[in-house]
Amino acid sequence: MSGEDHVIALDVGTMSIRAIIYTTDGRALFESSYEYEAKFTPPGLVEQDPADWRLGLLNVLAEAGAYAREHTLAIACLAITSQRASVIPVDATGFPLHHAVTWQDKRSAPQVGTLVEAMGFGELYRLTGLRPNPYFSLPKMMWFREERPDVYRSAEKLLGVQDYVVYLLTGQFVTDWTQAARTMLLDIETFEWEQSILEASGIDSSKLPDLVAPGSSVEGGLRRSMARPVNLPEGLPVIVCGGDQQCAALALNVFSAGHAEANTGTGTFTIAHSERPAHHAEAKILCSASAVPGKWILEAGVFNTGAIYRWLRGHYGGPAAIGYPQMDALAAESPIGANGVVLLPHFEGSAAPNWNDLAKGVLFNLSIGTSRGDICRAVLEGISLEIAENLEIIEGAAGPVDELTVAGGMSTSPVFNQIQADATGHAVIRYENPEATSLGAVMSSLVSLGAAGTYEEAFRTVCPGEGARFVPEAHAHQTYREILDRRRVLYTALDRGGVYERFAPAL
């Protein structure tokens, strides 16, 4: 791989698939995007047509291939990163037999109960690093076996989204450790399928794709049937770089002790590096495979964060809806603590730290004097305090964190970044390029192809210097510690008082 080569990063997200052409020093030259939507059906069903990914893949690769040909760019590889924990049953030709049941879907709650009864909650968490939850792939696989037995019997493989895209590109059924670590079937210490869980769940191991380390180049590379329509060379290396959050962690400098990041898009994932599998006594955080082969990450996810700010922008302003910069300006006018208004950001349930599927969003302590600025600030504070609580739990398991790097759409807001610094008590660093997931995939590919000897070297190559640093203010941090205690009291009162159960729809 030479300095004149380029990498096409394929980022398969929840709302779109993107192909980005990068130089080997991390400069984006071209981007093509194809949007799609999942189908949400109350109560708790979320599916997506796999044709979205096939059509999107053809579209964005064709545009990237045309750009590369027009500008005579040499392409060294395709670097793949993707959302995690969805399930697509396919036949031997890779044809989908059912819509994908996505990571947001909650239908498999009964299967979670069956699994816990068979193996025990603690044993499942110890083996996999995951809390038994419908969020992950295994309960969805069990749902297919029990509720759609014809589909299950006909399925050659049960794939994740990245696995499906890789099959379309190469004709190979493979998954990497980072994706497998979100199935609840991977032994988090050995990075192998765990036989005892397969037996307890009734899932046939032959229906799982082959395991490879993150950063592996798939045998055969880009197959002819895909190469020709998109104007890319047959046999072009296809590298499975890993889950979107693991790849984002690479580009946010999270591959050694003391480093953590918060990546805020639709939701927020707070991640820290670990040299060993680590667990929390109350299973409040998750342990997964890192995009660095043989390493681990500790992870705490919040389902809805940026989505809440987007919801506020679209609904709270009414006909006079305003943009995010104006919302940030209003938030900045409200004092620390938002004049007492508190947000619990559990609009679609709570993942870490509470792990309560029935929890719902709460804006508390409103009064006639509450302003739009108070509401805007309360949302930013509610998100930041959820991040702060999760980071505190992660530090208890992984050790102290020196700095918090941030990325995602909301990280472009200086107001939000300062609130994150004050809420967590850590310096917050935002790099010049807020893109993280696809840059992490580029880093992985540079190491895989030998263009960088280490991930540290790859990071120095593709990631520019700090764009901004936000330093916590001592008085603000103390105030937020007090607000965090009040939020815990509010959540506990709702939870222990049975309020969430009384308002929950029947599944």
Q: Which residue has the tokens 């389902």?
A: 303
pLDDT in the model for residue 4:
72
pLDDT in the model for residue 507:
52
Token reading at 119: 């193996």
Domain extent at residue 90:
5-245
Q: Structural domain tally of the chain?
A: 2
Regarding whether 198 and 120 lie in a shared domain, the answer is yes
- Residue 450 resides in a domain: no
* CATH number for 404: 3.30.420.40
- Residue 455 resides in a domain: no
CA-CA distance, 502 to 504, in Å (whole number)?
A: 6
- Three-class secondary structure of residue 272 per DSSP: strand
Residue 164 corresponds to which amino acid? Y
Regarding whether 269 and 418 lie in a shared domain, the answer is yes
Residue 72: CB atoms within 10 Å:
6
pLDDT in the model for residue 266:
83
State the DSSP H helix or E strand holding residue 299, giving kind and residue range, or none if neither.
strand 296-302
- Residue 201 resides in a domain: yes
Regarding whether 259 and 235 lie in a shared domain, the answer is no
Beta-carbon contacts of 282 under 8 Å, excluding residues fewer than 6 positions away, are: none
Phi-psi region of 248 (alpha: psi -120 to 50; beta: other; left: phi over 0): alpha
Regarding whether 125 and 272 lie in a shared domain, the answer is no
Where in 219-267 does DSSP place strands (E)? 238-243, 259-264
Q: Which of 245, 267, 294 is the last residue of a domain?
A: 245
Q: Which of 245, 271, 299 is the last residue of a domain?
A: 245
Q: Which of 220, 245, 270 is the last residue of a domain?
A: 245
Regarding whether 169 and 66 lie in a shared domain, the answer is yes
Radius of gyration over every alpha carbon of the chain, rounded to an integer in angstroms = 22
- What's the angle, vertex CA 159, arms to CA 154 and CA 162, rounded to 5? 150
CA atoms within 13 A on the CB side of 290: 26
pLDDT in the model for residue 435:
80
CA atoms within 13 A on the CB side of 391: 30
Pairing of strands 157-159, 88-90: antiparallel
pLDDT in the model for residue 451:
93
- Residue 458 resides in a domain: no
Q: Which residue has the tokens 């995951």?
A: 130
- What's the angle, vertex CA 327, arms to CA 324 and CA 330, rounded to 5? 155
Q: What is the pTM of this model?
A: 0.90
CA-CA distance, 232 to 6, in Å (whole number)?
A: 13
pLDDT in the model for residue 316:
67
Regarding whether 321 and 275 lie in a shared domain, the answer is yes
- Residue 470 resides in a domain: yes
Regarding whether 303 and 407 lie in a shared domain, the answer is yes
Regarding whether 209 and 88 lie in a shared domain, the answer is yes
Phi-psi region of 273 (alpha: psi -120 to 50; beta: other; left: phi over 0): beta
Q: What is the mean pLDDT of the chain?
A: 94
Regarding whether 146 and 112 lie in a shared domain, the answer is yes
- Residue 56 resides in a domain: yes
Regarding whether 295 and 160 lie in a shared domain, the answer is no
Cross-strand bridge partners of residue 16: 35
Q: Within the chain, which residues score under 70 in pLDDT?
A: 1-3, 316-321, 464, 506-507
Regarding whether 332 and 237 lie in a shared domain, the answer is no
pLDDT in the model for residue 433:
75
pLDDT in the model for residue 2:
62
CA-CA distance, 70 to 65, in Å (whole number)?
A: 9
- Residue 182 resides in a domain: yes
- Residue 96 resides in a domain: yes
Regarding whether 180 and 66 lie in a shared domain, the answer is yes
Q: How distant is the alpha carbon of residue 164 from its chain centre?
A: 17
